[in-house]
Amino acid sequence: MALPDNLLLLCVPKEEARKGTHGSCELPSRSLAHRAQYGSKAPFNCAIPDEQAPGPAQLQVGPKMQNQSRKFIPIVFSLCSQCLCGERFCLQAPLTFGLAGCSLRGMQHKRIFFQGPAGRLQGLYRPFSKPRAAVVVCHPHPQFGGTMNNKVVYWMARAFESIDCSVLRFNFRGVEQSEGHWDEGAGEAEDAAAALDWLYAEHSDVPLWLAGFSFGCYAGLMAARKDERVERLFAVAPAVNLWDFSFMQGENRPLTVVAGTSDKIVPYTAISASVRLLPGAHLHSISEAGHFFPEHRDALATALLSDVDV
């Protein structure tokens, strides 16, 4: 079977899996990649995605893995944004064994393209058959490395998915496989509007929400400001000191704002002052958290969903 090119297959001893020592974002990727690629004594077969190879890696399930299935649990790890710097893998989904080998469970994210005003936009879509809501999540500044795979955007998406929301992450124009060029925020807001249109077409019968991180708050909220279909707004570390958010004046829809008190890029005081001007906004502060919430992932997810009736 084909293994998507952002996944890595590894085997975890059952006793360790039971202890929870291999939870999400708890495994250092370098040692795992070395073990998987060069560990001839490892009782499993796997394929590591090769950036130079076209198409997805091929997952080969051999006799070693099948014979050792009683002692080891095969797990698929997703290459999250942290992996781009060689730090960690994220737990994505387990595999199950059968006579024909193994089959993936829960791998329901879909890579999509949809039409934007400057060309095709690349997205990652996680649908639910009966979603609570449909959420567009906008990534940080494209000129400073922001993509839909940014770790904060990833954590935000997973938080919404945890309460059964269908989620669309996408790349603004000119980012990775999205067509077009950087347009100083105005064009990116149009991209966010196109993402809202696409997701609404998929889920017109459930609430439509908009979420953004940093610059993504600017582009996303600007699009949502003009779109009455959007019922709820979410802003994580909105870059209010770098972009003009005056278009939000008069906004009354529910707006959940999450900010770290130790943010050195967007001062907490600036966010707090902006929130006070919006009657529908609720500010949730995370003590000692920086702009990228490196040690506060769980607190970020909790704050993000704190105004949602779950």
Are 105 and 94 in contact by the 8 Å Cβ rule? The answer is yes
% pLDDT > 70, the chain: 65
Predicted confidence band of residue 10 (pLDDT cuts 50, 70, 90) = low
Degrees (nearest 5) of the Cα angle 189, 190, 192?
65
Show the tokens assigned to 137. Answer: 């999540």
What's the longest Cα–Cα distance across the chain?
A: 65
Predicted confidence band of residue 23 (pLDDT cuts 50, 70, 90) = very low
All structural domains of the chain with their residue ranges: 2-104, 110-304
Instruction: Read off the pLDDT of residues 269-281 as tens digits, 9 standing for 90 and up.
Output: 999 999 999 999 9
Beta strands in 2-118 (DSSP E): 2-3, 7-13, 27-28, 57-58, 72-78, 88-98, 101-104, 110-116
Predicted confidence band of residue 310 (pLDDT cuts 50, 70, 90) = confident
Instruction: Report if pTM > 0.75.
Output: no
What is the chain's mean pLDDT, rounded? 77
Calculate mean pLDDT across residues 16-28: 38
Show the tokens assigned to 31. Answer: 């040692």
Calculate mean pLDDT across residues 148-173: 97
Write down the CATH number for the domain with range 110-304.
3.40.50.1820
Instruction: Read off the pLDDT of residues 66-122 as tens digits, 9 standing for 90 and up.
Output: 444 444 444 444 444 333 333 333 333 333 322 223 333 344 799 999 999 999 999
Pure H helices in the chain: 14-19, 29-38, 63-67, 151-162, 186-202, 215-225, 268-275, 297-304
